[in-house]
Structure 1
Amino acid sequence: MNTPELKTRLEALSAAEHQQAIKGIKRGIEREALRINPNGSIAKTPHPQDAGHPLTNSHITTDFSESLLEFITPVSEDPKETLAQLQDLQKYTLSKMGDELLWPMSMPCFIEDQDDIALAYFGESNIGKMKTLYREGLKNRYGSMMQAIAGVHFNISFPDTLWDSLQKVEQSSAEKQAFISEKYLGLIRNFKRELWLISYLFGASPALCKSFLQGNESDLPFEALGKGTLYLEHGTALRLGDLGYTNSAQSSLKVTYNNLDEYITGLREAIGCHSDLYGDLADYKAETPQQLNKNILQIENEFYSPIRPKRNALSGETPTQALARAGIEYVEIRALDVNPFSQTGISLEQINFLDVFLTYCLLKDAPALSCEDQRLTEANLQAVVNFGRKPDLELQRDGSPVSLQTWAGDIFAELVHVAQYMDKANDSNVYQNAIKLWRECISDPNKTLSGQFLSQLKQNQQDGGSYAIELANEYKLAHQSQSFVTYSSSSLDADAGASHEAQKQKVSEDNLTFVAFLDDYFANA
């Protein structure tokens, strides 16, 4: 596979006037982590209030369940700083959790019953109650087990200097923000086409605790290990498969990424589309509501996509309203498993690879992606999720079968040139080193994260849960022994205190009933 357009752009951007345009990539990370007891069971305690209020603390909050913490870093141009921020936030929160631990995996720990998974509670303000009712809807639509799955979200934006240089190189006369949005959508289309590679390299959930199935049968060829571990011999990322974040009702939605208006229209239609599946569940107007509304999507965030175009929203704006107002500001990658071999859940080597891969997705040509094309990309992803490390696995590329190794080799051949360009601009070798490191996984699947994890379990005939508890204890001790790097305990204490005051303020400012508040919200949305 040869993409002359990518080569042409790299050559043009390597000219003296554009050579450093790529410098200044900005990133932010959201890492989810399940709170567990020392024996590996899910923690049933409330969110640690000493760490701040989950509604108003911008760095330490909860995700879908009360036990699922979420750590959110500020935007930074230095990936080492971002990882240090994650480390500090986790260190601080662990100090407020007593003897509880952070589960270092994506697929959850042993959970005896779905009722053990408490919905995240955000207080008694209208917006807080809306967040919890949204999660009640998710529970009633998909079950609580899904709400215990953890992941890592990687946010990235490219610098203005790159957009200026790209416009000159491509001789584009488009308005700048329209040009930026168009390019980000091209990145998204290319990412979706080759997302399977991320699952292959970074998928770290080839196994799960059999309690996750809650007694249900699975068509997947699971094998058993230890007390209660089920695994797929060649699996990579069960979190991204049919057992993870899925919504079968969404298969009928026509949300595409060929232009911004098309994306916004598709998503808004889904918000307003009545669902036959969920029509019997009581909505927010009922005395005992079971969901926000009876549509296929309660709100836009329910749309499950491995990558999203994003814009920081103003107060009261929905995500699509923000995009319609000012275009795409950054993209959010939602396809990353928690890396069990990193105490922060993601490694520097992964970040460096993602920088290169996403730059590659941005700079190469990005043909339109129809709904049918998207279904083919999803079929490739599912093949890799379940069988990615199987020798001679074939995927579909441009309507023809191709082996995973061949396609991955073609991609890496181009990533090398992108990494060289980025290293030259940054006077470094980190990007080429990252490509060299992860390229070894093509010929040796055991070097992938899923391969390493399964090798550990099988070599030691170890249950996945016991290994995860070992890692959780190891990482807690490491956090306790390390000093704060970017924050301090006192500054995080101050943030926690301020978040509780901010949440009280939100309650005091409410001047509508909850039903009237939601009436206004959905009318404006």
Structure 2
Amino acid sequence: MEVLSASNKPLLAQSLSSTQRGIEREALRIEQDGSLATDPHPQALGKALTHPYITTDFSESLLEFITPVTQGIDPLMEKLADIHRFTLSKLNQQALWPLSMPCVVRGDNNIVLADYGQSNIGKMKHVYRRGLSQRYGSMMQVISGVHYNISFSQEFWKLYQQQLGDKQELQDFISQQYMGLIRNFYRYGWFIAYAYGASPALCGSFVKGMQTSLDFQPCGKGSLYLPFATSLRLSDLGYTSDQQRELAINYNSVECYVDSVRKAVKLESEEFSKLGVKVGDEYQQLNSHVLQIENELYAPIRAKRVAKEDETPSQALARGGIEYIEIRALDVNPFSSLGIEAEQIEVIDQFLLWCLMTPSPELSQDELNLCRENFNHIAVEGRDPKLEISIQGETHKVSQWLERIFSECKTISQQLELTQTTTALQHLQDQLDSDQSFSARLLKELLDKQQDNSKFGLDLSRLYREQLRTEALSIWTPEQFELARFQSEEAQLAIENQDQLDFDHFLEQYFVNAAQY
């Protein structure tokens, strides 16, 4: 772990106050009985293609709330709360499902693919989702999560570069350091799944007909659980792909990463080619590659840069290097009406800072595969006191790894005099030591009352619906949300009116441009 110089500590601590953050929270719309909503995306929420804060993910019922990039955790959480408050005010009797694993879904056919209008880009987004449905099934795609975006300030990076005595161009240094953080997240990111995993149980219908070696146990009227599971969402039951396991994604530099991703998106899949691409007049998927587009690459963490129009994510990275990182390993927190709490962000920020400041040697494909196995072990049996995992040749019990991570994270926060962060870390450690993690609390609730996921989730959804609907907006006004709705409608119409190519030629041109360096 990097030892911070005395002269840099106060300045580094001050620079962290300028950290930029964003949250993307997914939530299924549900009816009063807890079943999945099957109606179109509500008109009162604007157009999902162009609205800045309220969109859809895989299906019409899977909402995604996107905060603007924000400094400060409290303002960030207030913006997220306002998006929830406004949305629920427009949902009539519907509510938001508060768990990662889906609610009552009556099969793939009851999941309506997201519709983004008649523009070429809207059609492409729709066909991409149809491809996901064909490849993995729609049930797998309505698992919900929280994505957390973070970018340390330029001032922080200048100070940290000075701390390390590095002389390269600042953006090259930033990209190099972010890639080191990403490699360490693969090694240690299971910590997030252990601490904040909240999906130890699921509806039995989710695995009906699925071959699994997991020893599920029944609970309530139809739920299944694993006694030591933390996050079934992050396990092999979640959105993973056997074909993607063969992709040799390289995280040792931005250049290696971009090159390996571009090679991956060109790989043809014998399995997916059997589905057909365009059958009759209707596209079943964008192409028959292992990845239709780069977004299909499953990862618990991603290197990101805001892309220009018509740029792919890898082209944006190749152009300007890493601008921020996206953490994708967070379950929806069922004990929060917003799916995430401010204290979680305090801990995650410090954990990421520790990943940054901890030595991060290059990651071989064998080690990467081992890291993925660790994630899966933690997801399905992480709370087993006997569980051991191996990291960089060291095998220890999970409790020993946790003790080390907490100790070193607290050392950094204490050196930087981040009192609130130190408190948050200690609170989480106390919770985990007493088996009060989200997954343990949720499972205890189910087993003590012998109730299933559906009732537990439905009761919480009603509670949060009433709570949020009675709260006043604190950052925006209703008029500002109405303006955003109107502008989203105008923006989608403008996109549709400016299309000049038919969809076939648009798609052809897209992939020609995507292949360019």
Structure 1 length normalisation: TM-score?
A: 0.96
Match of 2:404 among 394, 406, 410: 410
1:266 maps to which residue?
Answer: 260
1:476 maps to which residue?
Answer: 465
Matched, 1:277 2:275: no
2:104 maps to which residue?
Answer: 110
1:511 maps to which residue?
Answer: 500
Matched, 1:436 2:431: no
1:304 maps to which residue?
Answer: 298
Pairwise mapping of residues 14-25 of structure 1 onto structure 2 (< 5 A)? Answer: 14=9, 18-25=12-19
Match of 2:501, as an amino acid? L
Pairwise mapping of residues 164-183 of structure 1 onto structure 2 (< 5 A)? Answer: 164-183=158-177
Q: For 2:333 and 2:285, how far apart are their aligned partners in 1?
A: 33
Matched, 1:133 2:127: yes
1:85 maps to which residue?
Answer: 79
1:457 maps to which residue?
Answer: 446
SS of the residue corresponding to residue 61 of structure 1 reads strand
How far residue 281 of structure 1 moved from its aligned partner, in angstroms, is: 2.1
Q: For 2:61 and 2:163, how far apart are their aligned partners in 1?
A: 49
Q: For 2:158 and 2:76, how far apart are their aligned partners in 1?
A: 26
User: Kindly, what percent of the aligned residue pairs are identical?
Assistant: 43
The 1:341/1:442 distance shift into structure 2, 3 A limit, reads: closer
| Cα deviations by residue, 1:346-368 (Å, 9 ceiling, x for unpaired) | 00110100110011111221111
CA RMSD of aligned residues (A): 1.3
Q: For 2:86 and 2:392, how far apart are their aligned partners in 1?
A: 49
Q: For 1:261 and 1:351, how far apart are their aligned partners in 2?
A: 30
How far residue 285 of structure 1 moved from its aligned partner, in angstroms, is: 8.4
| Cα deviations by residue, 1:135-172 (Å, 9 ceiling, x for unpaired) | 00000000011111100000000011111111111111
Match of 1:466 among 455, 460, 468: 455
| Cα deviations by residue, 1:93-146 (Å, 9 ceiling, x for unpaired) | 112111111000000011121100111110010000000000000000000111
Conserved? CA contact 2:26–2:63, under 8 Å: yes
Conserved? CA contact 1:53–1:496, under 8 Å: yes
Pairwise mapping of residues 387-398 of structure 1 onto structure 2 (< 5 A)? Answer: 387-398=381-392
Pairwise mapping of residues 118-267 of structure 1 onto structure 2 (< 5 A)? Answer: 118-267=112-261
Q: For 2:270 and 2:430, how far apart are their aligned partners in 1?
A: 48
SS of the residue corresponding to residue 71 of structure 2 reads coil
How far residue 397 of structure 1 moved from its aligned partner, in angstroms, is: 2.4
Match of 1:68 among 62, 66, 74: 62
Q: For 1:290 and 1:18, how far apart are their aligned partners in 2?
A: 51
2:36 maps to which residue?
Answer: 42
Match of 1:9, as an amino acid? L
How far residue 82 of structure 1 moved from its aligned partner, in angstroms, is: 1.1
SS of the residue corresponding to residue 335 of structure 1 reads strand
Unaligned stretches of 5+ residues in structure 2: none
2:51 maps to which residue?
Answer: 57
Q: For 1:448 and 1:31, how far apart are their aligned partners in 2?
A: 20
Pairwise mapping of residues 362-377 of structure 1 onto structure 2 (< 5 A)? Answer: 362-377=356-371
Conserved? CA contact 1:208–1:229, under 8 Å: yes
Q: For 2:303 and 2:419, how far apart are their aligned partners in 1?
A: 30
Match of 2:434, as an amino acid? D
How far residue 11 of structure 1 moved from its aligned partner, in angstroms, is: 4.8
The 1:19/1:443 distance shift into structure 2, 3 A limit, reads: closer
The 1:301/1:44 distance shift into structure 2, 3 A limit, reads: same
2:4 maps to which residue?
Answer: 9
How far residue 256 of structure 1 moved from its aligned partner, in angstroms, is: 1.5
> Which shows bigger deviation, 371-380 or 393-402?
393-402
SS of the residue corresponding to residue 91 of structure 1 reads helix
How far residue 57 of structure 1 moved from its aligned partner, in angstroms, is: 0.2
> Which shows bigger deviation, 88-97 or 39-48?
88-97
Conserved? CA contact 2:17–2:72, under 8 Å: no
SS of the residue corresponding to residue 248 of structure 1 reads coil
SS of the residue corresponding to residue 63 of structure 2 reads strand
The 1:18/1:489 distance shift into structure 2, 3 A limit, reads: closer
How far residue 286 of structure 1 moved from its aligned partner, in angstroms, is: 5.7
Conserved? CA contact 1:405–1:442, under 8 Å: no
> Which shows bigger deviation, 357-366 or 299-308?
357-366
Structure 2 length normalisation: TM-score?
A: 0.97
2:511 maps to which residue?
Answer: 522
SS of the residue corresponding to residue 148 of structure 2 reads strand
SS of the residue corresponding to residue 118 of structure 2 reads coil
SS of the residue corresponding to residue 235 of structure 1 reads coil
Q: For 1:474 and 1:442, how far apart are their aligned partners in 2?
A: 26
Matched, 1:499 2:473: no
Match of 1:516, as an amino acid? H
Q: For 2:279 and 2:309, how far apart are their aligned partners in 1?
A: 24
Q: For 2:280 and 2:366, how far apart are their aligned partners in 1?
A: 39
| Cα deviations by residue, 1:333-378 (Å, 9 ceiling, x for unpaired) | 0010000000000001101001100111112211111111111111
How far residue 13 of structure 1 moved from its aligned partner, in angstroms, is: 3.1
Conserved? CA contact 2:150–2:324, under 8 Å: yes
Match of 2:471, as an amino acid? Q
How many residue pairs were aligned? 514
Conserved? CA contact 1:21–1:161, under 8 Å: yes
SS of the residue corresponding to residue 502 of structure 1 reads helix
The 1:523/1:200 distance shift into structure 2, 3 A limit, reads: same
Match of 2:65, as an amino acid? F
Unaligned stretches of 5+ residues in structure 1: none
Conserved? CA contact 2:219–2:451, under 8 Å: yes
| Cα deviations by residue, 1:231-261 (Å, 9 ceiling, x for unpaired) | 1100000000111110110111111210011
